[in-house]
A and B are shown apart, each in its own frame.
Chain A
Amino acid sequence: MGRQRWHLLTGRDKLVLAVMVGIPLAIDIALVWGSLVVDFLWSFTDWQGSGDMTGGGLGHRFVGLMNYTQLFDGTYPFFWSAVVHNLFWLGFLMFVATPLGILLAVILDGQLKGMAFYRTVFYLPVVLSLALIGIIWQLQYAPDWNRGFINGVLHFAGYDVPGIKDLPLVGQWFRDVSKTDWVGGDLAIIPTVIAASWRHVGYICILYLAGLKSFDPVLREAAAIDGANARQTFFRVVFPVMKPINIVIIVITMIEALRAFDLVYITNYGRSPMELLSTLITNNAISESTRIGFGSAIAVVLAVVSLVPIVGFLIATMREEKQ
C-alpha cells in the first residue's frame, strides 16, 4: 500500500519529503549523536579547556585511558559515590515511587467519589519543574525548627504536645530529631529522592491509567466470573496484558534516574553529598572547573549506561511494530 503511494509521488514531492526529513535528521545526527562521538574522543585527552571553552576542540594531549582509570580506581572519589546515588535514586523510584504510582492508577481507575479531585491533586506536581520542586521541598526540609516544616512539626510535638513531650524517651526523640539537617547530612540523597517522587508518582499514575483505560473490560469481567478477587485480577490478568506499558514505565523510571539533575542542582549545586553523574559532568567541565577531557569521560559512562534502557525500549517498540 505504501509502495503504491510512493509511485504516485512526483519528483518534486520526493524532494520535498527528503528535505522534510533530511534537514532535521542531519541536525539531530550531527548534534546529538555527533556530540556522543566528540565526548568519546575528548575523553581520551587531558584537555583543560580555557576559561570560556574557546580554542581548539581536538588535538589535545592524548592520555589514553587515564581519565577512565582515575574514575574507576577511586582516585576521584566522587565518581563511585555518584554511582551509588544514581543507583539509590533508581532503586527508590523503581521500588517505591513507581509501584505507588501504579497502585494509585489502579485505585483511580475504579468508581470512586471525587475522582477528578484526587487526579488533579496527584497530577499537579507533574507540571511543576523539578527546580521549583527543589525550592518547595527546601521549605519542608530546612534545618531550623522555625523554618523547616518537618522540623517544625517535630519540634511542636516534642515541646508542646502534652501527651508526647512528657514521655521520657519519645519526647526527647522528637526534640532531637527536630534538629536534623535533612538535606545537609551524608544521607541527603534520601530526602531529595523523596521530593523527586512527589512528581514521579503522579507521572507514572497518568501513564498507567492511560494503559488501564485501553484495557479490554471483557477480560476483567471474565476474571470476575471465574471468581477472581481484585488482587488476583490485577496480578494475573491486567498486569500481564499491560506488558507494553510496563516496559514504557520501567524505561521512563530508569531514564528519570539517570537524568536527575535539576533537583540536586538547585539544592546544593550537585556537590557532595548529593553528587550524581549528571552534576559531576557539568561541575567538572563547565561550572567549577574546565577539565573537559575528564568531564567527557563521565559523560561517556552516563551515555553508555543510558543506552541500556534506551535500546531496551527501542527493541520493545520494534517488536510491537512488527506485530
Chain B
Amino acid sequence: MSVAGTAAPRPAMKPKRRRIKPRRVALYAFLITLTFVWLVPLFVAVYEAVRTNADVTKNGIFSLPQSFTLDNFIKAWGQTTPTFPQGYFNTLVVTIPAVIIVLLVGSMVAYAISKYSWRLNLVVLMLFTAGNLLPQQAIILPMFRFFLTPLFHIPEPLSDNGLLYDQYLGIIFTHVLFQMGFVIFVLSNYMKTLGNEVIEAALMDGAGVLRIWGAIVMPLCKPAVAAMAALEFTFIYNDFFWGLLLMKTQDRRPITAALNTINGQYYTDYNLLAAAALLAAVPTILVFLALQRYFVSGLSLGSTKG
C-alpha cells in the first residue's frame, strides 16, 4: 500500500497492487458497520424531528416518510419551558464567564506550582486533581446547604435573592470550582515542558511574577489554553447536574437541564423531543466540528502529559 504515490507503476508490480487482502476487507467491513451503528441514533433523531407526530404514530418511525415539517423545531424553539432562546442565554451567561475564569485562575495556579519550587507543589496539585475526580453527587448535599446559607449578602446585580442558590453566579462559581482541578493538572504538565531560561532572565531584569505569567508564560501556552478552552466550553455547556439541582427557577436553567423539564412536559411527543434534543446539540456539535483538533488535543493533553 505504501508504494502508492511513488514512481510510475512497473508492470511487474501490477498484480501485487491489485490483490485484495482479506484482512483489510474485514477491517473496513468492521469499521463501516460500526460507523453505521454509531450514526443510527442521530439519524433516528433527525428523522423523527422532521416528520409530523401523526405520520409517525400511524406509520411508525421505521417507515418511509409521509410528511416533512419543521414545525417541531419551531414549537420546541418557542413553547418549551424555558424556551430555547432563553435556554441558550442561560447556558451562555454561565458558560462564557466560567470558561474565562477557570482558564485565568487555573493557569495562574498551574504557573505558580510548576514554575516556582516549593515543598507543597505536589500536594497542591493532588488536592485539586483529586477534588476534580470526585463524583459531584458525593458532595452535593453540603454544597446545596452552603448555597442556601446567607453567609454574606451578595448584592443585587449578581444575585437577586442574596444567595448563591438559584443564581447564575452560583452555577458559574461551581463550575470554576470543579473544572479548576482539570485545567491545573493539564496546564501545569504543559508548563513543565517549557524552558525556564526566559523566566529567569525576566526575573533578573526585575519583572514581577504576574507580568511574567501574562507576557511570557501565557503566550507560550497558547495551544494548550486553546485546547482547554474548547474542552471546557463543552464540559460546562454539557453540565446537567449542577444546573438542575442548584437552579430552582426553571426559566433560568441551562439548556441541558431544561431538556429534563421539556422531557417531562412533552414526554408523549417524541417528534418535539427529538427536535429539542437536536436544537440543544447544535452548539456543541458546531464547536466540535470547527475545533475538533483543539478538542482532541485537549483530551490528549490530559491523558498523555503533553
The interface of chain A, by Cβ under 8 A from chain B, is 1-6, 8-10, 12-13, 16-17, 20-21, 24-25, 27-29, 31-36, 38-39, 42, 52-54, 57, 104, 107, 111-112, 117-118, 120-125, 127-132, 135-140, 142, 145-149, 152-153, 155-156, 198, 203, 206-207, 209-211, 213-214, 244-245, 248-249, 251, 255, 258-259, 261-262, 265-266, 277-279, 281-282, 285-286, 292, 295-296, 299-300, 302-303, 306-307, 309-311, 313-314, 317-318, 320-321
The residues in B between 108 and 154 inclusive whose CB is less than 8 angstroms from any CB of A are 108-109, 111-113, 115-118, 122, 124, 126-131, 133-146, 148-149
Closest Cβ of chain B: how far from A253's Cβ, in Å?
Answer: 12
B103 interfacial by beta-carbon distance below 8 Å = no
Name the one of A120, A127, A147, A313 contacting B270, with C-beta atoms under 8 angstroms: A147
A278 touches B285 (CB 8 A): no
Which residues from chain B contact A295 at a C-beta distance below 8 Å? 141
If over half of A's interface residues share one DSSP class (helix, strand or loop), that class is named, otherwise mixed; here it is helix
Contact A149-B44, Cβ < 8 Å, known A111-B1, A206-B296: yes
Considering the complex, give the chain A residue whose CB is closest to the CB of B301.
Answer: A210
B140 touches A281 (CB 8 A): yes
A266 touches B196 (CB 8 A): no
Bound together, the chains give a CA A206 to CA B203 distance in angstroms of 39
A303 touches B62 (CB 8 A): no
The residues in B between 270 and 306 inclusive whose CB is less than 8 angstroms from any CB of A are 270, 273-274, 276-277, 280-281, 284-285, 287-289, 292, 295-297, 299-300, 302-305
| A–B Cβ pairs within 8 angstroms, 17 of them | A8-B203, A31-B177, A121-B38, A131-B257, A132-B238, A132-B281, A135-B276, A136-B277, A146-B56, A210-B297, A210-B303, A211-B304, A281-B138, A286-B245, A292-B141, A299-B141, A313-B133
B277 touches A135 (CB 8 A): yes
Closest Cβ of chain A: how far from B236's Cβ, in Å?
Answer: 10
Name the one of B105, B116, B145 contacting A2, with C-beta atoms under 8 angstroms: B116
A296 touches B141 (CB 8 A): yes
A112 touches B240 (CB 8 A): no
Bound together, the chains give a CA A28 to CA B185 distance in angstroms of 14
Q: How large is the interface on B (under 10, 10 to 19, 20 to 34, 35 or more residues)?
A: 35 or more
B60 touches A259 (CB 8 A): no
B138 touches A24 (CB 8 A): no
A24 touches B180 (CB 8 A): yes
Which residues from chain B contact A152 at a C-beta distance below 8 Å? 60-63
B250 interfacial by beta-carbon distance below 8 Å = no
Which 6 A-B residue pairs are closest in the complex by CB-CB distance? Answer: A2-B117, A210-B300, A152-B62, A129-B238, A35-B139, A278-B137
B259 interfacial by beta-carbon distance below 8 Å = yes
Closest Cβ of chain B: how far from A269's Cβ, in Å?
Answer: 9
Contact A139-B145, Cβ < 8 Å, known A25-B124, A282-B245: no
B44 touches A33 (CB 8 A): no
B59 interfacial by beta-carbon distance below 8 Å = yes
Which residue, A149, A307, A321, has most C-beta atoms of chain B within 10 A?
A: A149
Number of A-B contacts (CB under 8 A): 312
Which residues from chain A contact B138 at a C-beta distance below 8 Å? 35-36, 39, 281, 299-300, 302-303, 306
Which residues from chain A contact B181 at a C-beta distance below 8 Å? 28
Which residues from chain B contact A244 at a C-beta distance below 8 Å? 304-305
A306 touches B256 (CB 8 A): no
Given A25-B109, A146-B61, 9 more pairs with CB closer than 8 A: A21-B113, A39-B141, A53-B144, A131-B240, A139-B41, A139-B45, A156-B62, A248-B303, A292-B141
The interface of chain B, by Cβ under 8 A from chain A, is 1-2, 27-28, 30-31, 34-35, 38-42, 44-45, 48, 56-63, 105, 108-109, 111-113, 115-118, 122, 124, 126-131, 133-146, 148-149, 177-178, 180-181, 196, 199-200, 203-204, 208-210, 234, 237-241, 244-245, 256-257, 259-260, 263, 270, 273-274, 276-277, 280-281, 284-285, 287-289, 292, 295-297, 299-300, 302-305
Considering the complex, give the chain A residue whose CB is closest to the CB of B135.
Answer: A259
Considering the complex, give the chain A residue whose CB is closest to the CB of B276.
Answer: A135
Bound together, the chains give a CA A54 to CA B129 distance in angstroms of 31
Closest Cβ of chain B: how far from A150's Cβ, in Å?
Answer: 9
Which residues from chain A contact B274 at a C-beta distance below 8 Å? 135-136, 139
A214 touches B31 (CB 8 A): no
Closest Cβ of chain B: how far from A34's Cβ, in Å?
Answer: 7
Which residue, B62, B148, B241, has most C-beta atoms of chain A within 10 A?
A: B62
Contact A129-B284, Cβ < 8 Å, known A120-B289, A321-B122: yes
Bound together, the chains give a CA A214 to CA B127 distance in angstroms of 28
Bound together, the chains give a CA A300 to CA B196 distance in angstroms of 43
